[in-house]
Amino acid sequence: MPAFLIALGLVIVFAINLGWFKPTGFVQLTDSFSGWLSSITLPVIALSLGGIAGVSQQIRGSMLDALRQDYVRTLQSRGLNRRTVVMQHVLRNAAGPGLAVLGVHFVGLLGGAVIIEQIFAIPGMGQVAVTATSQGDIPLVMGLVIATAILVVILNLFVDLAQGWLNPKVRLS
């Protein structure tokens, strides 16, 4: 389900019907911590809900695949308990694909944040991008595209470095 539909559903249920949150607006962290926390709760849930399902499904599949490997049976036959095998060996081998999917979802979150910022009236890069596009401010739009591209490159570098740290087989020697 797209993040904007989740956001609209959250606003209808938790802001309008239950009245637990304000439907729109943003409170600075320096003004009020509780107000800031209340103003970002629904947007964060709307952005992250779809990604959680995909990442958890990928990690679950990788874990099940890794648990079927011969080295797991070998480690258990040598007397290591299941918890040690799973936490020290299986999870480390299964985390790579999940980390790759998490990186892809984070890049998708950047695009979804534009719409979420508009729904919840949060000042951010998405709102600046929409305003600059509607006003025809081409240099600002190009700057935002370059900044977003740099963010994506840095994120992919971080994912690659984490993959190398988790799995020695993917390291360059």
Q: Give the number of other Cβ atoms within 10 Å of residue 108's Cβ.
A: 15
Cα distance between residue 61 and residue 56, in whole Å: 9
pLDDT in tens, 12-49: 999 889 988 888 888 888 888 988 888 888 998 988 88
Q: Is 128 exposed, middle or buried (0-12, 13-18, 19+ CB in 10 A)?
A: middle
Q: What is the pLDDT of residue 170?
A: 67
pTM above 0.75, yes or no: no
Asked if residues 51 and 16 have their Cβ atoms less than 8 Å apart, the reply is no
pLDDT in tens, 79-98: 888 888 888 888 888 888 88
Q: What is the pLDDT of residue 142?
A: 93
